[in-house]
Amino acid sequence: MPIVPSRSGRIQGLLGRLASGGPAERDSAVAGLTLLGARVIEPLRALLPTANGAARLAALEVLERIEDHGALAPLLDLVRDEEEPVAQRAMEALGGRPDPRAAKVLAGVLAGPAPASRRRSAALALVRLQAAGLVEALDALAARLLDEREETGLRLAILEALRAQEPPLAPATLRPLLKRLAASADPQLAARARPTTDAAVPLERLVDELVAPARSDEAVARTSAALAGRGAPAIPALRQALERLGPPRRGGEDAPSLRGRAAIHEALAALDSRVALYDLRETIATRPRAVMPALLRAAGRVGDGSLVPVLARAVAEEAAWLDECAEALAAIVAREKLRKTSAACRSVRPDHRRAFLLLWEAARARRPR
């Protein structure tokens, strides 16, 4: 009879490749371990404390693909990992496990002193759990959403994620939240929560208000929401306003013009329009510090692969933009279903390639499911 290798020997061989192999060997090991199923969970868990970051990320892929309940415990362990991409990837994986233990751990991260990027990942994972029917998740989200001491960006991210979830949040649950948020002392949050009352205002007037100088963030957000409510007819008016601003100029555009340009791009992105992609790419390439976050939000919402090279360039030229660019790239990858070998990724310039690889890994830890 032929000698058949033991399952244990096979598992140990694959774990060795996971821990010390190159990217291709790790990918092969991930596939092999996934096929072996639940029996690899305990060996993987034993490997994690001494494995490097790349191996822990690979182990996460295996654990995420194994549907056995036993895979939950090591995923919960990795939420507190010292390396940011590992911790965020673990939280992302937990978002696909509607288990009260996952909600409890994620709620702890969300309420605790963790870095902003981890808290945001925990919030988005909780939204996914809530959408999957885990009611415990909503309590943690509502606590942060309604806390007036909480950071604005996190509250806005939770609100937008709840509004966009599938299946939709029940109106009986969403309306009371919106009512309380509309009375918030935070102007941005209140503007996002209020229903628009600008239906009778002409489009041209709304666009003029959007790009008018010295307007508050609250007023800009309210006008942008009103334009989004008009749908496709608002797109030509926004494009004409952008054309009146002229082409973007590195270091030569005044602050009101830059702010107006960024507001137009966010409004077009909210309408899911790509008519101004060229201008958006060129403006991001100038890296205007004051409006860069708004431009990157627009890039992520538009989700076009042609933006990948300019994101890599931004990180190559100024590493401080890594987190915001990673958020945008994660959204683009999800929408376009990109891989590293996709044409959009191959078009990154060679001198920006190292920055792109760093950006890709950071985005991978944030990728929506």
DSSP codes of every residue in 161-192: HHHH-SSPPPHHHHHHHHHHHHT-S-HHHHHH
Among 311, 309, 315, 316, which Cα is nearest to 345's? 309
Q: Are residues 150 and 220 in the same domain?
A: no
> Which tokens sit at 89?
């990837």
Quick: pLDDT tens for 202-242: 888 889 888 888 777 777 877 887 787 677 788 899 999 99
Residue 295 located in a structural domain: no
pLDDT > 60? residue 199:
no
d(CA 11, CA 6): 9
Q: Are residues 61 and 92 in the same domain?
A: no
pLDDT at 265: 93
Residue 125 located in a structural domain: yes
The one-letter amino acid at 164: A
Domain that holds residue 327: 303-369
Q: Are residues 113 and 167 in the same domain?
A: yes
Query: Roughly what angle, to the nearest 10 degrees, separates helices 23-36 and 7-20?
Result: 150
Task: Give the residue from 78, 104, 128 where a domain finishes.
Answer: 78
pLDDT at 74: 94
Eight-state DSSP code of residue 246: -
For the chain, the residue count is 369
Q: Are residues 85 and 173 in the same domain?
A: yes
Quick: pLDDT tens for 256-311: 889 999 999 999 988 888 899 999 999 999 999 889 999 999 999 888 999 999 99
Max CA distance (Å), the chain: 84
Q: Are residues 170 and 90 in the same domain?
A: yes
Integer CA distances (angstroms), 167 to 3, 267, 337, 367, in order: 52, 25, 22, 20
Count of structural domains within the chain: 4
> Which tokens sit at 59?
């182990």
Residue 289 located in a structural domain: no
Residue 164 located in a structural domain: yes
Residue 136 located in a structural domain: yes
pLDDT > 80? residue 64:
yes
Among 194, 192, 92, 160, which Cα is nearest to 300's? 160
Among 23, 127, 198, 133, which Cα is nearest to 31's? 23
Task: Give the residue from 78, 106, 133 where a domain finishes.
Answer: 78
The one-letter amino acid at 355: A
The one-letter amino acid at 349: R
Q: Give Cα 211 distance to the centre of its chain.
A: 27
Radius of gyration of the chain from Cα atoms? 23
Determine contact, residues 303/341, Cβ cutoff 8 Å.
no
> Which tokens sit at 170?
């029940």
Q: Are residues 278 and 235 in the same domain?
A: yes
Q: 368: pLDDT confidence band, cut at 50, 70 and 90?
A: very low
Mean of per-residue pLDDT scores for the chain: 87
Q: Are residues 182 and 213 in the same domain?
A: no
d(CA 264, CA 227): 10
Q: Are residues 67 and 96 in the same domain?
A: no
Kindly tell me the sign of the dihedral angle through the C-alpha atoms of 101, 102, 105, 107. Answer: negative
Task: Give the residue from 156, 188, 220 where a domain finishes.
Answer: 188
Integer CA distances (angstroms), 188 to 16, 65, 208, 300, in order: 51, 39, 20, 20
Q: Are residues 164 and 262 in the same domain?
A: no
Residue 69 located in a structural domain: yes
Integer CA distances (angstroms), 156 to 120, 176, 182, 361, in order: 10, 16, 12, 25
pLDDT > 50? residue 4:
no
pLDDT > 80? residue 166:
no
Q: Are residues 3 and 67 in the same domain?
A: yes
Query: Roughly what angle, to the nearest 10 degrees, separates helices 234-245 and 203-211?
Result: 40
Residue 224 located in a structural domain: yes
d(CA 218, CA 156): 13
Contacts with 151 (C-beta within 8 Å, 6 or more apart), sequence order = 116
pLDDT at 76: 95
Residue 102 located in a structural domain: yes
Q: 197: pLDDT confidence band, cut at 50, 70 and 90?
A: low
pLDDT > 90? residue 347:
yes
- Model-level pTM greater than 0.75? no
Q: Are residues 243 and 214 in the same domain?
A: yes
Determine contact, residues 294/316, Cβ cutoff 8 Å.
no
Q: Are residues 103 and 177 in the same domain?
A: yes
pLDDT at 84: 86
